[in-house]
Chain A
Amino acid sequence: MISGYLARNGLEGRIIATIVLILAAGVAVPVSNLVLDPSHPLHVPTYIVALLGKYLTYALLALALDLVWGFCGILSLGHGAFFALGGYAMGMYLMRQIGTRGVYGNPVMPDFMVFLNWKELPWYWHGFDQFWFAMVMVALVPGMLAFVFGWFAFRSRVTGVYLSIITQAMTYALMLAFFRNDMGFGGNNGLTDFKDILGFDVQADTTRAALFAASAVALAIGVIITARITGSHFGKLMIASRDAESRTRFLGYRPEMVKLFAFTVSAVMAGVAGALYVPQVGIINPGEFAPANSIEVVVWTAVGGRGTIIGPIIGALLVNGGKSWFTGVLPEFWLFALGGLFVFVTLFLPKGIVGTLQDHIGRRREKRQAEKAEEAEAASAAEPTPVGAE
């Protein structure tokens, strides 16, 4: 009883520490970029701020995947699609903000539509000049897609590798669709050449710092939501349907509804991550839908440790940091390293870095507690029995 209480409290403590750490980074990095002199040793250059901001959105995406894969057992190979859809919603807002500053100077239509000789804005582009509308869409579009897709898939009990493969087919189909010029999303080139967000220049240091802070806040909120969901009764059901779906069903629960909820929430989180990603990198194109991207997200989560909340964040930061370093130093070897990482993690670190550490710490704590219990037993007994302490 007491140990269970302590463990739960300990977990909460760790989550709170993570949130504090993320928020502290969200304040410290922008401040050091804006306030400190460039020659100061603790000064963070703007390009690093943008890079770290990108990593934070990746971490949020990895956390979203962890919610469905780590806790619900759904290996989605299409989470990049939700990320990209959120990104496109944001990109559409940013395109509408360009206004007359485009190459063709059309006040309403983005350049690529003028270039394609379109006469008026397609219906689905209306409303994206309003920030609030774009933000609603950032959550709604991925959420709706996940809901509809999940509704069909989970209800007909598509599970395991079949589910993974059709999520991959989903993102592949979307990629092909977004590559088409007729879709009205800029085709191959995607959406780019953004000018302002909410009236602030996207290139300015202050805007970048603010976007970084916003990403940190979004990640912190993501951690809170994930911790709340997984810590609740509902979280237990998620784990139950991951570990023994049939048994959960026979106990009278509806695993498909549990999965559907988790999948939809996760898609919304991925969409928000995408929306924060786009203004920081300045472009969104159909390549974001590529199946390879979605699988890469899986490896971030796997490296950090699925089924933990801190794991995917650490995994995303480590792997992407490694990628940036590798592509700078040994560009040809990055794919070898990434491929090797996939094999190594699945073979030797199935629980990821955080999961393995947790196991280790847990085992040590158990051992210590067992020792303590023995000591107490020994103390309470009239004669200590050294043979029993073996």
Chain B
Amino acid sequence: MRLAGPLTFAVAIILSLAGVAHSQEKPLREIVNSFAEARNFNQTEEIVAELGATGDPAVVPVLRALSEGDLHVRKSDNQVFIVSGRGKTLTIIDPLTGEMVGEEGKRALSKIRVNNGLRRLIRDTIGGLALGSPDPAARLRAARTLISNPDASSLPAIEAALEKETDPEVAAGMMRARAAAILVSERPDAEKSEAITAVAAISTQDALSLLLGFRGQATGELREQVDRAIARVERVQSYWAMAQNVWYGLSLGSVLLLAAIGLAITFGVMGVINMAHGEMVMIGAYVTFVVQEIIRTSAPWLFDWSLAIALPLAFLTAGAIGYALERGIIRFLYGRPLETLLATWGVSLILQQAVRTIFGPTNREVGSPSWMSGAFEIGQLTITWNRLYIVLFALAVFAVLLFVLNRTSFGLQMRAVTQNRRMAAAMGIRTPRVDAMTFALGSGVAGLAGVALSQIDNVSPNLGQGYIIDSFMVVVFGGVGNLWGTFVGALTLGIANKFLEPYAGAVLGKILVLVFIILFIQKRPRGLFALKGRAVEA
């Protein structure tokens, strides 16, 4: 049974590549209907091989349906159909054209039985058919599948396909598939030696396990060559692992940047730590939730736009709360930064409890728009779209803030107040207004961060708490009064965290980063990018 599968499979592919002529000798429908006569698994197997031999892509749905147990025979006339649906009456579909034929009672049909050996054969046959498929992308996919599951018996088929291949990229993929197959075959050592080089060039985890498997049976020079190849693949793998860590670090860093940048602005301008900053992030996330709920109930077709709608709303909501907080509480506490810290902590408790009372203490589900789900690969790097969009979004927010701070008159006023509040006031800047607007801006940016974080984190009343200490660390590390400090601080801490994780574990890595920052503060008490000047000490 185990040998029969691959053998029939190989025959099927060779025949399929031999040409379409064969398929005209016996119409497809006749072969498909012959499933009705199959008395045991072996006979079914032969028919599958025959179908594979036609090389006609039209048989793929039939084979797939067979594998899933959806291929049935109508007892009355021995016709074969694909069925769908549940219950007593099933919809029957023509296996080759895919058209609905009608409905039939379950009792009038009998299922064509399959076992695991057959399923494997079907999978390989479909793979082999793909190797001869007119679509180059499908051929490439088939070649890749063969690299991960190399099989000596598929070697002739690969070589036959390779001869006919015109697309250079697909040909390269097939060469690799051939090399992988050679390693597990009985071919002479010279060919195997070439194959080792070719497999080593693939450098994936599959290639590594293939080489490690081959190492056991290799002797003499071949053994040395395999060892060298393994070392090479492992080196390449470690580079990719490093690249993956950098990517995770960038992703974490951009989240930290989003969460910390608003904090850095308010701290820089007003010298107060806003302990309720995390709650502004949380409010941004809940705004996203509310927007999505409204869209779900009244305008589902807008769902893909839900985040775009939530962004300005979150900015305005969090900004308004920040403005109210500044006007209502913080402006009475100027010159007393420690008291401000306590008062804003009180506000954060109230906001958390308010959200808990309104929305309940459990996590709320925020969906991802279709364009944000899924992932793609660069080399051996897997990148999910939502992480990529968050990195881009963080960069965009950073760029806009840089523009606001450096190119607008409001930004100029903010910077003036940061550097020397009294002198700025003497020059006619209304510092209370700048304070209120700065606080609103910082809180609004936190709201934007909340929209982004709702895509990767649980939306619960405690959302902000998880980020607040890390955000403080970013601000303390990067220094205030300069957005670049926050930028460098956030990315450094993000990458450092992710690089420590594999060696020290997630928790210990975080502890090490905290200890590092505590020590770093000793050397540079005002952060990486410290403001200089007389006003700083005041």
Contact = CB atoms under 8 A, between A and B. Distances in A.
A79 B476 CA distance: 20
Contacts of A156: 521-523, 525
B522 A302 contact: no
Interface in B257-296: 267, 271-273
Nearest to B513: A173
A157 interface: yes
Contacts of A157: 525
Contact of A339 (B336, B350, B519, B522): B350
B353 A335 contact: yes
Contacts of B273: 161, 164-165
A272 to B, nearest CB: 25
Given A176-B511, A347-B329, A169 B339 contact: no
B338 A339 contact: no
A299 interface: yes
B507 A161 contact: no
B347 A343 contact: yes
A131 interface: no
B116 to A, nearest CB: 39
Interface in B483-535: 507-508, 510-511, 514-515, 517-519, 521-523, 525-526
A176 B515 CA distance: 12
Contact of A342 (B346, B476, B514): B346
Interface in A231-266: 246
A346 B525 contact: no
A45 interface: no
B417 to A, nearest CB: 17
B251 interface: no
A383 interface: no
Given A180-B508, A341-B346, A158 B339 contact: no
A150 to B, nearest CB: 11
Contact of B507 (A160, A165, A180, A346): A180
Contact of A169 (B267, B345, B517): B517
Nearest to A334: B353
B301 interface: no
Contact of A173 (B336, B345, B350, B515): B515
B332 A347 contact: yes
Contacts of A153: 521-522
A343 B346 contact: yes
B180 to A, nearest CB: 42
A170 B516 CA distance: 11
B256 interface: no
Interface string B317-338: 0000000000001001100111
Contacts of B511: 173, 176-177
A152 B338 contact: no
B469 A339 contact: no
Contact of B469 (A149, A172, A298): A172
Contacts of B518: 149, 152, 166, 169-170, 173
Nearest to B346: A342
B349 A338 contact: yes
A335 B346 CA distance: 9
A339 B346 contact: yes
Contacts of A333: 353
A347 B510 contact: no
Interface in A326-361: 332-333, 335-336, 338-343, 345-347, 350
B341 A75 contact: yes
A258 to B, nearest CB: 18
Interface string B353-386: 1101100000000000000000000000000000
A383 to B, nearest CB: 49
Contact of B342 (A162, A176, A332, A342): A342
Contacts of A149: 518
A168 interface: yes
Contact of B338 (A160, A173, A291): A160
Of residues B337, B345, B350, B518, which shows the largest number of chain A Cβ atoms within 10 Å of its Cβ? B345
B338 A161 contact: yes
Interface string A291-309: 1000100110010000000
A332 B353 contact: yes
A194 interface: no
A58 interface: no
A71 interface: no
Contacts of B329: 343, 347
B472 interface: yes
A291 B469 contact: yes
A88 interface: no
Contacts of B336: 346, 350
B38 interface: no
Contacts of A185: none
A179 interface: yes
B460 interface: no
B348 interface: yes
Interface in A157-207: 157-158, 160-162, 164-166, 168-170, 172-173, 176-177, 179-180
B515 A339 contact: no
Interface in A45-84: 75
Contact of A347 (B333, B349, B514, B523): B333
Nearest to B338: A75
A176 B507 contact: yes
A339 B523 contact: no
Contacts of A176: 507, 510-511, 514
Given A343-B343, A350-B339, A168 B472 contact: yes
A229 B519 CA distance: 30
Contacts of B521: 153, 156, 158, 162, 166
B352 interface: yes
Nearest to A172: B469
Contacts of B48: none
Given A161-B273, A180-B507, A332 B514 contact: no
B53 interface: no
Contacts of B515: 173
Given A169-B469, A340-B350, A343-B329, A160 B337 contact: yes
Contacts of A168: 469, 472
B341 A335 contact: no
Contacts of B267: 161
Contacts of B473: 169
Contacts of B333: 346-347
A179 B510 CA distance: 13
Given A153-B521, A336-B350, A339-B353, A169 B343 contact: no
Nearest to B340: A346
A336 B349 CA distance: 7
A333 B357 CA distance: 9
A246 B538 CA distance: 10
Scoring A162, A341, A343 by chain B CB atoms within 10 A of each residue's CB, the highest score goes to A343
Contacts of A173: 510-511, 514-515, 518
B514 A164 contact: no
A224 B114 CA distance: 87
A335 B526 CA distance: 34
Given A158-B525, A162-B521, A335-B353, A179 B507 contact: yes
9 contacts: A161-B267, A166-B517, A176-B507, A299-B346, A335-B350, A336-B349, A336-B350, A339-B349, A347-B332
Ranked 6 nearest A-B pairs via Cβ: A342-B346, A339-B349, A339-B350, A335-B353, A173-B514, A339-B346
Given A161-B337, A346-B336, 15 more contacts: A153-B521, A156-B523, A158-B521, A161-B267, A164-B341, A169-B514, A170-B518, A173-B518, A176-B510, A177-B508, A291-B469, A335-B352, A338-B346, A342-B343, A346-B340
